[in-house]
Amino acid sequence: MAGSIFGKHFQISTWGESHGSALGVVIDGCPAGIEISKEDIQKDLDRRRPGKSPFSSPRKEKDEVEILSGVFEGKTTGTPISLIVYNTNQRSYDYSEISKLYRPGHADFTYDQKYGFRDYRGGGRSSGRETTARVAAGAIAKKILKEFNVDITAYTLSIGPIEIDKSKFDKKEILNNYLAMPDKDAAQAAADYLQKQMEKEDSSGGIIECVVTGLPSGVGEPVFEKLDAMLAKGIFSIGAVKGLEFGIGFEAAKKTGWENNDFFRYDEEGKITKLTNHAGGISGGISDGFPIVFRTAIKPTPSIHRMQQTINKNGQNVDIQVEGRHDPIIVPRAVIVVEAMTALTLVDYLFQRIFSRIDLIKKALQ
């Protein structure tokens, strides 16, 4: 109920603070019989790990995962999988000042308002470091989806004013450049732009796009658990997200019905196709078998060294320069978090699809 549990069937329970001894996740509801190794998980954690790029925090963390339960002789047993990542580089920083201030754009103020006090070391539970646990669980969800040929690819669409040129889309580039952009030239331009922000001790926002292929039709529940609604819950649960749109999204508000509707056609082989995918692969909250496409706006890193105005707990207006090790941009490291939340949502509703029809249930049980 307090919001650190996510999911219905593949249910994850995350825990841990930025500067505690460890972070982790317990997965309840991973079916038995799936081959899982540490490497399956580490691969995704390494994509999120800080300290690898000029555009990410220099905090040195290996983010090495350990599997504490639920896997026996290389396969999931059907019982809870406990994953742990120890924090090894909590800098012995002096937090006495920051503990009395509210950093602009951070959750310092709202945590104090909610709980009466807060773990101020590195943002405590509100730190982006919390997403480590999500990425670890998401890696297992992605492995399951792969068994059903569902593929999730997220990437940086834009950083500040720099956007990729879709005609140059190159999937390999996503893992090749520091900014997770599938367009080498845009990545270079964005790097230059970021360099300038860093010189001004400032940061930048950006947009992540995510495309899901291979998802069968019929996934998502009508009314309150529409597939887009559940993805929206998952994506907006990522700290820095400020907007989300599916298919042509906000553009649809300016279109007419005739312009916006996707027309069905049988292709030459008699297969059902659509002439467009404005809807982004979801109709009435249910997947239609075409690619799921969405974009999400990520705000600029709130921690900047540039002088800002704020208040302290003693009733004073003060100026603040946020010290510490910060990313000038959240977007590239958030790409894998978007994939993780997408995977965690999809695995749930893919499984849930079975319960729509008594014939599918019978197929499974007989």
Q: What are phi and psi of 267, to 5 degrees?
A: -85, -175
Contact flag: residue 88 with a second copy (CB under 8 A)? no
How many angstroms from the chain centroid is the CA of residue 149? 20
Task: Please report, as residue ranges, which positions from 18 to 77 form the binding site for a second copy (by CB under 8 A).
Answer: 20-24, 26, 28-34, 68-70, 72, 75-77
Contact flag: residue 205 with a second copy (CB under 8 A)? yes
CA atoms within 13 A on the CB side of 206: 30
Contacting a second copy (CB under 8 A), which of 289, 291, 324, 325? Answer: 289
Contacting a second copy (CB under 8 A), which of 45, 98, 140, 144? Answer: 144
Contact flag: residue 114 with a second copy (CB under 8 A)? yes
Pairing of strands 151-159, 162-163: antiparallel
Contacting a second copy (CB under 8 A), which of 14, 56, 57, 342? Answer: 14
| Site mask for a second copy (CB under 8 A), range 318-337, x = bound | --------------------
Can you tell me the distance from the alpha carbon of 196 to that of 201, in angstroms, rounded to the nearest whole number?
Answer: 9
Contact flag: residue 8 with a second copy (CB under 8 A)? yes
Q: At 183, list the tokens.
A: 């367009």
Can you tell me the distance from the alpha carbon of 86 to that of 78, in angstroms, rounded to the nearest whole number?
Answer: 25
Residue number with CB closer to a second copy (172 or 180) = 180
Rounded to a whole number of angstroms, the minimum distance from the CB of residue 181 to a second copy is: 14
Residue burial 336-364, b: 16+ Cβ < 10 Å; e: rest: bbbbbbbbbbbbbbbbbbeeeeeeeeeee
Contact flag: residue 94 with a second copy (CB under 8 A)? no
Residue number with CB closer to a second copy (172 or 315) = 315
Residue 120's nearest CA partner among 361, 272, 324 is: 324
Contact flag: residue 117 with a second copy (CB under 8 A)? yes
Contact flag: residue 277 with a second copy (CB under 8 A)? no
